[in-house]
Every structure is written in structure tokens, then in C-alpha cells.
Amino acid sequence: MRVVKVTYNVIPVHDVLLPPLSSKVIKYLILDGKILPFLKDLVTSRTKNKPLFISNLEFGGRRLFSTGKPLRVKAGSIMRGKVSFPFTEEVLGERGGSFRTPYGEFQVSVEVLSVFDGSDVQVEGRNFLLEFLTPTLLASKIYLPPSLHERYGKIDSGYALLPTPGLVIAAAYRQYAGLLGTTANQEADQKAFKLLVLGNSLSRVVGFNLRPITAVLGEEEGRLRKTRGVVGWIEFDVLGPMKRRAAKYLAYSNYFGLGRGGGVGLGEVQFRVVERSKGGGGEGELRT
């Protein structure tokens, strides 16, 4: 399955106050037909695990989302925003322009198009490094066996703030399955749960640096709407024949993120395969 990531340069014409999730600038431009107009139906779809990711704007190496303070950006600052979706030739005609939005006027141009076809990654003798760049919302209910969904499915158990290898592999599979069609079926639930159990059982965590963070989603009736997710990184190895499959699913997460909120830039991750330390497993070592 070929997918594409469009990276834009986004430059405010005047000083601007961005929305708490700066991804809403790009989302507005799509819905208003200024960029990628063929994605409008996908953006408005409420399908779970839909094959779409709209990043928060990036400036100075930092993703711009609010944890409580306003996001102010000066005129002329070069920000970057990314949109990922299944490849279509319609994207080849994508350009840009100067556009007015409720958040200010921006000069938008295409910087690069990146296409990924799921090519195999060399994984033997290497570890997986997964970085959580924006608050990642991984539903705790993934831990629930499918046979218990009917009994406990309506309980709001929130999001896991300590992502395990099995949890991220299962979440990556769900996003990958969303590329191929709906994930709202028992078969997808059973496979995700199997990957969760095997991923936790057949993995070795090498190091991690994780922390919970609260992000502001917006305002409703005078009150801030917030959510809490995890940022940081985890390095781990996966043992046995499932390692290559896990790498495939996680490689797609570079385009579609993990967990809920990908349509507004939550769950942005960077997955890489890295060399092991000389000790072989690198147990107890932390990357800085």
C-alpha cells in the first residue's frame, strides 16, 4: 500500500495567535478547499483509524501545541506542517498560495512529497527506537480480550501513559489495518490483542524516557478542553519471527501516528531501527 506525506512551509504574513492545536490551521485549509481539496470527505469522516494524519505545525524543532499558554508566532517565521494519506495522483498537482484563515493569513508552499510503499526494513541484530513527538493517546482498552468487550467495553478507562512494546505494536497494526479498510470487526480486535500479548511477551525493553503531558484541545462554554498523553521515547527489541511484521506496522506509524487524534496532530511518532550496543541487548542503558 503506497502512502504519501506532503510537507508544507507555512509562513504567517503578520504576527499570529495560533489555536491550541496548531494542526487546525492545515485542517482549515483542507476543509476550505485551499489545499488537498480531495481530502475533505476523509477529514470529516468519523471512521476509527482512518488513513489520515495532519501534524501540528513545527517551528525550531518543536511541535506547536498548547499546554496552557498561548501560541504566538511572529510574522515571517517558517513553520512546517505535514499531511499523510493513501497515495493518489491528484497530489502531484498540489501547489500553495497565500490564504486567509480564522487564525491569520499564511503563505503556504509545498516543500517535499514523500512516498512510502511498505518496503522491508533491515531489522536483524537491531533494536527499535520509537519517539513520541506529540501527546500520544493509546487506549487502555486494547489490553481487554475481545471476549470481554461486550461486558466491559462501555467503561471509560482512559489512555495508557506507560506504553509497552506490545501496546505500540497493536496500535500500529490498528492504524495499518485502517489503510486496508474498516477495523470495526472482531477479526481486527483479535489480531490486535494477539499482537499485544506476543509483543509484550517476546520483547526486551532496552531503555526509555517517557513522561505524561497535558495538551489543550480548545475551549467549550468558557472552559478549556484538555487531554493527557505520553511523550518521550522507548527503545526495545522484538524476538522471533514477528519482528519483521512489527517493523512493517511501526514503519507506517511514521506517516499516520499512533492512537487517537491523528486528524489534529496527536500521536505523532518517529520510528527508527537502530544499531544495538556492543553488549548485544543494551539492557539498563538509557539514550539521552
Tens-digit pLDDT string for the chain (288 aa):
899 999 999 999 999 999 999 999 999 999 999 999 999 999 999 988 999 999 999 999 999 999 999 999 999 999 999 999 999 999 999 989 999 999 999 999 999 999 999 887 789 999 999 999 999 999 988 888 888 878 887 888 889 999 999 999 999 999 999 998 877 778 888 999 999 999 999 999 999 999 999 999 998 888 899 999 999 999 999 999 999 999 999 999 999 999 999 999 999 999 999 998 644 444 434 444
Q: In this predicted model, what pLDDT tens digit does every residue of 50-81 receive, in sequence order?
A: 999 999 999 999 999 999 999 999 999 999 99
Q: In this predicted model, what pLDDT tens digit does every residue of 102-124 receive, in sequence order?
A: 999 999 999 999 999 988 778 99
Q: Phi and psi at residue 143, in whole multiples of 5°?
A: -70, -10
Spatial contact of 216 and 225, defined as CB atoms under 8 Å apart: yes
Spatial contact of 103 and 26, defined as CB atoms under 8 Å apart: no
Spatial contact of 13 and 192, defined as CB atoms under 8 Å apart: no
Task: Note the pLDDT of residue 283.
Answer: 41
Signed CA dihedral, 147, 148, 149, 151: sign only: positive
Question: Can you give the residue ranges of every domain in the chain?
Answer: 3-116, 126-275
C-alpha cell at 144: 481487554
User: CATH fold of 3-116, please?
Assistant: Elongation Factor Tu (Ef-tu); domain 3 (2.40.30)
In the chain, the amino acid numbered 188 is: A
For the segment(s) 126-275, the CATH number from 3.40.720.10, 3.40.50.720, 3.30.70.1900, 3.40.250.10 is: 3.30.70.1900
Spatial contact of 215 and 66, defined as CB atoms under 8 Å apart: yes
Whole-angstrom Cα distance, residue 257 to residue 84?
A: 10
- Kindly state the DSSP code that residue 57 receives in the 8-state scheme: P
Spatial contact of 140 and 158, defined as CB atoms under 8 Å apart: yes
Whole-angstrom Cα distance, residue 36 to residue 105?
A: 18
C-alpha cell at 47: 471512521
Going through 39-103 in order, the beta strands assigned E by DSSP cover 53-54, 58-59, 62-63, 71-73, 79-86, 97-101
Q: In this predicted model, what pLDDT tens digit does every residue of 24-52 receive, in sequence order?
A: 999 999 999 999 999 999 999 998 899 99
Question: Cβ neighbours of residue 204 under 8 Å, at least 6 residues apart?
Answer: 236, 237, 239, 281, 283
Mind giving me the DSSP string for 91-113? GGG---EEEEETTEEEEEEEEEE
In the chain, the amino acid numbered 277 is: S
Exposed (0-12), middle (13-18) or buried (19+): which is 149, by Cβ within 10 Å? middle
β-strands 126-136, 71-73: how paired? unpaired
Which residue has cell 482512559? 158
Task: Note the pLDDT of residue 153.
Answer: 78
What's the residue count for the chain? 288
